[in-house]
Structure 1
Amino acid sequence: MYQPRFQYTHTIVKSLMAIEKYKITVEMLPLPKDIEKELRNEAKLKMTHYSTRIEGNPLDLEEVSQAIIKHRDRQGLKAEQEVRNYWNALSFLSASKRLKIQISENFIKRLHSIIEVRGSGRRNEESEYRGPMRPGVLFAVYDSITGEPEYIPPEANDVPQLMKDFVTWINSDYARELPTPVRAGIAAYQLLTIHPFYDGNGRTARALATYILSIDGYDLKGFNSMEEYYVSDLQGYYTKLQMGLPVLYYNGRNNPSDLAPWLEYFVLTMERAFRKVARIAESKYKQQIDPRVKRLEPRELIVIKLLLGKSGDITPKEIAEEFKVVPRTVTEWAKEWMEKGIIEPASGTERIRAYKLGRQFSDLTLSDLGYADTDQQ
């Protein structure tokens, strides 16, 4: 089985902690449904534009938007078809997430077939791995300026076993125990390294990483797009993927001693993207809400939501269960919440067994917090 090697560095750990912080922020901020839809569509459009731009697609963001709106399947310019393909691939990933589809070789082949639809005619349900090149022709990734090979992938005959080992690793207990951003970063790197298809490997690798992040709850409600950061630093993106390793796969790329340089870049890029999404979500949230609510921290919003949902008192144990902490932690948090007037004792003063909503917040409703009325159930 494929066994990636890497060491956790200070940079990786720091970025992972920041990612968790921003993830929680976005999850705890309720937004109106129309705002969420707007942010999801915007992120999907950016992912489509920038992931295809990395591979040389000339369309700008507005042209990509128009190409998708036209939705002329497999018609028009090649560049338009390419962005529609990627848009459709992201829709396929969303549907797969709802159906809880596990990653397999067939899944990756299906994903690639959507990304690489060309011309008219019947679609292939699944792509095939690349085969041997004709004598005298080298399959390689070439420098667009010098024309020299930047990377010579493994031979076609080795691809099926490499992909089998790769997918086995993705679904292994070892891989699932890794932080999701690390697992996604390794998956993107390894698929690009194997280069199982003639074309579309970069887009497929980025889409696969997106799916891994999404199914584990790291898509920030669908608001996240990392690809724009790769485009802003394409040389850095390619340099980190290369990691100074030899051009030939069999000379060291088949088993790098440490993937940390790439993983540092991947999670740092993810941190930057998550920070931006968190700030946008906070801004959108503050534009929609009661001035009193703007001053509240994410945890405080959740507590008020719980109290409004119960239409009465709430115990420290119930709060602890919501945040997955021990009741003693809630007791400490409650001291600050009472000072702010968010909650008041509902029973007793020395040994508080329940809390109720503070008077200055007692007239709030779920809609004031940004939740739909149906969220109260």
Structure 2
Amino acid sequence: MFNPKFTYTNTMVSELMSIEHSRAIVDLMPLPATVERDLIEKAKVKMTHYSTRIEGNLLDLEQVSRVVKQKPEKNRIAAEDEVRNYWEALSFLSREKKKGTPITEDFILQLHAIIYQHGTGRKALKSRYREATEPGVLFAVFDNKTRQPEYIPPEYSDVPVLMDDFTTWIKQETDLPIPIKAAIAAYQLLTIHPFEDGNGRTARALATYMLSLADYDMKGFQSLEEYYVEDLDGYYRHLQMGLPVLYYDGRHNPENMAPWIEYFVKIMSLAYEKVANLAKQFSTSNQHVLIALLEPNETTLLRFMIETNRPVKPIELTQLFQVHTRTIGKWTKQWVLKGLIEPAGGTKRITAYRIGSGYSEFTLADLGYKE
């Protein structure tokens, strides 16, 4: 059976302790439900954006946020499909966590099918492992600049056995700290490289799910992927660990996985510390955290309503943002749910909005503008 080897380091132990410290802070300083919902959605958008960005997706954070909030369209471009798929995969994982669904081969195949689905029409419920390439074609991960193989995975015929071994290890391994187990799982799925494409996204999503099953997801507030994007060279270098290009030359059983594990828990520690600091900030300054959570267009909205100092009509918001009335209709529903605004006129159809009670005491100075 798969038997990963590594040596605990002082840094690794220190980061594990930091992770536990941050978890305790978040548990002891709960946030209001509206703030929690906003943090979860923002983290989900970030995970979608940054995980696909690692694979070369060029949409920026604002574009990703817009794509995932819109209804699916038949004429989406590939980049939009990619982020929409990852968003749906994270939604799938959230539902499965509530059911406590264990990680199996079928589960991974289903997860990949959501991440990698293309085009319109009926989607496959499960993916298939990669198959034999055409004669003379090398299946490998190539360097974007040199076009030389960075990694040559195991033969396709070995993948089913390796995946069975891998998922058996996930099921039976109960002694390792969960962050370390998630780090190893992400590495091993990438190493087996069971699919023709989408392995990186699937591995990161699987690690996220493994952490969430054990309540190591900071209530869904964190996003490790944004740290990877800021250090892509370091991310790939630690995954490579200086090992040979060919899987069978040592990748199949590294002597010490500590470099990757140490990197993974370091990123976790930083991401969790950020969430813990936000919880502490909220406990001492309610207003500042609510302001910090605002999107750019929400800050513009709040400034406009403070300056107007009266209920505003939907048509005024359409003119303010220079968008279609249907778009304002979608945005206002989201803003009402968040508590940023609330209805101020109309019964069957809302004719005006005022600032939500949780934001009504803010001033232009709170938003960073001069009075």
| Common fold by TM > 0.5 | yes
2:240 corresponds in structure 1 to: 242
Mean CA deviation greater in 23-32 or 181-190? 23-32
Cα root mean square deviation, aligned = 1.0
Q: Return the offset for 1:176.
A: 1.7
Larger radius of gyration: 1
Contact 1:5/1:259, CA 8 A, preserved across alignment: yes
2:137 corresponds in structure 1 to: 137
Q: Distance in 2 between matches of 1:56 and 1:25?
A: 35
1:211 corresponds in structure 2 to: 209
Aligned 1:120-131 pairs, distance under 5 A = 120-131=120-131
Mapped pair 1:259 → 2:263: no
2:269 corresponds in structure 1 to: 271
Q: Distance in 2 between matches of 1:80 and 1:167?
A: 31
1:80 corresponds in structure 2 to: 80
The structure-2 alpha-carbon separation of the partners of 1:5 and 1:73, relative to structure 1 and needing over 3 Å to count, comes to farther
Q: Distance in 2 between matches of 1:236 and 1:104?
A: 30
1:194 corresponds in structure 2 to: 192
Q: Distance in 2 between matches of 1:251 and 1:57?
A: 32
TM-score by length of 1: 0.75
1:184 corresponds in structure 2 to: 182
TM-score by length of 2: 0.76
Structure 2: which 5+ runs fail to align?
Answer: 288-371
Q: Distance in 1 between matches of 2:101 and 2:15?
A: 29
Mapped pair 1:48 → 2:63: no
Q: Runs in 1 of length 4+ with deviation above 4 angstroms?
A: none
Contact 1:44/1:87, CA 8 A, preserved across alignment: yes
Contact 1:131/1:156, CA 8 A, preserved across alignment: yes
Contact 1:74/1:118, CA 8 A, preserved across alignment: no
Mapped pair 1:104 → 2:138: no
Q: Return the offset for 1:74.
A: 5.6
Q: Distance in 2 between matches of 1:126 and 1:56?
A: 24
Q: Distance in 2 between matches of 1:74 and 1:280?
A: 39
Q: Return the offset for 1:284.
A: 2.4
Q: Which one-letter code corresponds to 1:53 in the other structure?
A: R
Q: Return the offset for 1:105.
A: 0.2
What CA deviation, in whole Å up to 9, does each residue of 1:186-233 have, x standing for no partner? 000000000000000000000000000001010111101100000000
Q: Return the offset for 1:280.
A: 1.3
Contact 1:4/1:259, CA 8 A, preserved across alignment: yes
Q: Distance in 1 between matches of 2:120 and 2:86?
A: 17
Aligned residues: 287
Q: Which one-letter code corresponds to 1:187 in the other structure?
A: A
What CA deviation, in whole Å up to 9, does each residue of 1:99-147 have, x standing for no partner? 1100000000000000001011210000000011110000000000110
Contact 1:152/1:248, CA 8 A, preserved across alignment: yes
Helix, strand or coil for the counterpart of 1:217? coil
Q: Distance in 1 between matches of 2:216 and 2:188?
A: 20
Percent identical residues: 58
Helix, strand or coil for the counterpart of 1:176? coil
2:27 corresponds in structure 1 to: 27
Helix, strand or coil for the counterpart of 2:110? helix
Q: Which one-letter code corresponds to 2:10 in the other structure?
A: H
1:13 corresponds in structure 2 to: 13
The structure-2 alpha-carbon separation of the partners of 1:154 and 1:229, relative to structure 1 and needing over 3 Å to count, comes to same
Q: Which one-letter code corresponds to 1:269 in the other structure?
A: I
Q: Distance in 2 between matches of 1:26 and 1:74?
A: 41
Helix, strand or coil for the counterpart of 1:150? strand
Contact 1:16/1:267, CA 8 A, preserved across alignment: yes
Contact 1:97/1:214, CA 8 A, preserved across alignment: yes
What CA deviation, in whole Å up to 9, does each residue of 1:33-79 have, x standing for no partner? 00000110111010000000000000000000111122315641110
Q: Return the offset for 1:283.
A: 1.4
2:57 corresponds in structure 1 to: 57
Q: Distance in 1 between matches of 2:88 and 2:46?
A: 14
Q: Distance in 2 between matches of 1:109 and 1:265?
A: 27
1:286 corresponds in structure 2 to: 284
Q: Distance in 2 between matches of 1:80 and 1:71?
A: 12
The structure-2 alpha-carbon separation of the partners of 1:251 and 1:179, relative to structure 1 and needing over 3 Å to count, comes to same
Contact 1:182/1:267, CA 8 A, preserved across alignment: yes
Q: Return the offset for 1:287.
A: 2.6
The structure-2 alpha-carbon separation of the partners of 1:249 and 1:64, relative to structure 1 and needing over 3 Å to count, comes to same
2:119 corresponds in structure 1 to: 119
Q: Distance in 1 between matches of 2:284 and 2:72?
A: 39
Q: Which one-letter code corresponds to 2:25 in the other structure?
A: T
2:333 corresponds in structure 1 to: none
What CA deviation, in whole Å up to 9, does each residue of 1:295-327 have, x standing for no partner? xxxxxxxxxxxxxxxxxxxxxxxxxxxxxxxxx
The structure-2 alpha-carbon separation of the partners of 1:279 and 1:158, relative to structure 1 and needing over 3 Å to count, comes to same
1:347 corresponds in structure 2 to: none
Q: Distance in 2 between matches of 1:10 and 1:239?
A: 21
Q: Return the offset for 1:11.
A: 0.9
Q: Which one-letter code corresponds to 1:196 in the other structure?
A: P
Q: Distance in 2 between matches of 1:193 and 1:69?
A: 33
Q: Distance in 1 between matches of 2:120 and 2:59?
A: 21
